[in-house]
Amino acid sequence: MAAMILSAPLLSARGLTKHYDGIKAVETVDFDLTAGQVHALIGPNGAGKTTFVSLLSGRITPSAGTIQFDGADITRLPAHSRVARGIAYTFQITSIYANLPVFDNVALAIQRQGSTNLRAKTMAALARVGLDGRADQNAGTLAYGHQRLLEIAMGLSMAPKLLILDEPTQGLANAEIDAFNTLIREVTPQTTVLLIEHNMDVVMDLADQITVLSFGETLATGTPAEIRSNPAVQAAYLGG
Ligand SMILES: Nc1ncnc2c1ncn2[C@@H]1O[C@H](COP(=O)(O)OP(=O)(O)OP(=O)(O)O)[C@@H](O)[C@H]1O
Ligand SMILES: [Mg+2]
């Protein structure tokens, strides 16, 4: 029966683990990402959120566990191979070319895909995050929040299947956060979004699913309503 066939998750992690000298940064995490959704990853400082997405992006290698993405085992693939398979990510620490114009930062990301029509695509990517008016400015002179938006433009210019964002709204003004929310709604469901975010208004507005990490382990996964009413989550993070 067709209705019984459930589509496989876009990404599945099983037993994913990263230890640093006895620190259990990420400890046997099972995690499924449904295609087309916005999935938020929340939890206290030091919970292992950045480490977890760094394992998914290939920036660091796991101590144990597996990662399946889009039907393939990517656990041992280098980061650039994962980018080629459609995983784009922005780090908590900005990774732009500060001494190059905003335009060049995005154009370089697009050029790496071997794309044609560079100028039009670059300007379109910048317009999506509201930075088209700053194309000629050196990226390092942008405000911190705008540097994060530039990174998102670089990520989106690759037309990824999965976009991973680590605290993208940090340093943004309220009006810019509204524009960010609109952007994320526009890019889904074509792009699946995994979002590390401390701003609970953003999380509750955008997320279809929320996973809460605490001391490297999954405390809970569920809809925003389920997470909000979860006593363990309130105790560990929401301060209920
Ligand atoms: N390269 C590293 N070497 C040693 N310990 C590390 C390293 N990276 C992270 N850790 C430790 O692993 C734990 C998880 O850190 P991580 O940065 O993943 O947390 P986080 O949830 O992203 O926190 P935040 O909300 O502050 O960004 C912390 O105890 C951190 O000190
Ligand atoms: Mg972090």
Per-residue pLDDT of 3-18, as tens digits, reads 555 678 999 999 999 9
Q: Phi, psi at residue 67, to the nearest 5°? A: -130, 120
Q: Ligand 1 atom 25: the closest Cα is on which residue?
A: 45
Average pLDDT, whole number, for the chain?
92
Q: From CA 49, how far away is CA 57, in angstroms rounded?
A: 12
pLDDT at 73 (0 to 100): 98
Q: Is the pLDDT of residue 239 over 60?
A: yes
pLDDT in tens, 204-216: 999 999 999 999 9
Q: Ligand 1 atom 3: the closest Cα is on which residue?
A: 20
Give me the percent of the chain exceeding a pLDDT of 70: 95
Q: Ligand 1 atom 24: the closest Cα is on which residue?
A: 45
- 51 CB within 6 A, ligand 1: yes
Q: From CA 16, how far away is CA 193, in angstroms rounded?
A: 19
Read off the DSSP letter of residue 222.
E
CA distances from 218 to 14, 27, 48, 89 (A): 12, 8, 10, 21
pLDDT in tens, 9-60: 999 999 999 999 989 999 999 999 999 999 999 999 999 999 999 999 999 9
- 193 CB within 6 A, ligand 1: no
Smallest-distance ligand from the CA of 166: 2
CB 52 within 8 Å of CB 59: no
- At residue 162 the predicted structure's pLDDT band, cuts being 50, 70 and 90, is very high
Q: Ligand 1 atom 11: the closest Cα is on which residue?
A: 25
Looking at per-residue pLDDT, the higher value among 163 and 238 belongs to: 163
The CA 207 to ligand 2 mean position distance, Å, reads 18
- 144 CB within 6 A, ligand 1: no
Q: Is 134 helix (H, G, I), strand (E, B) or coil?
A: helix
Domains and CATH numbers, the chain: 7-86+160-240 (3.40.50.300), 93-159 (no CATH)
This prediction's pTM: 0.93
- At residue 95 the predicted structure's pLDDT band, cuts being 50, 70 and 90, is confident
The CA 182 to ligand 2 mean position distance, Å, reads 24
- At residue 90 the predicted structure's pLDDT band, cuts being 50, 70 and 90, is confident
pLDDT at 1 (0 to 100): 47
- At residue 94 the predicted structure's pLDDT band, cuts being 50, 70 and 90, is low
Q: From CA 235, how far away is CA 114, in angstroms rounded?
A: 49
DSSP string spanning 10-79? Answer: SEEEEEEEEEETTEEEEEEEEEEE-TT-EEEEE-STTSSHHHHHHHHHTSS--SEEEEEETTEE-TT--H
The CA 120 to ligand 2 mean position distance, Å, reads 34
- 211 CB within 6 A, ligand 1: no
Looking at per-residue pLDDT, the higher value among 7 and 128 belongs to: 128
- At residue 109 the predicted structure's pLDDT band, cuts being 50, 70 and 90, is confident
- 7 CB within 6 A, ligand 1: no
- At residue 115 the predicted structure's pLDDT band, cuts being 50, 70 and 90, is confident
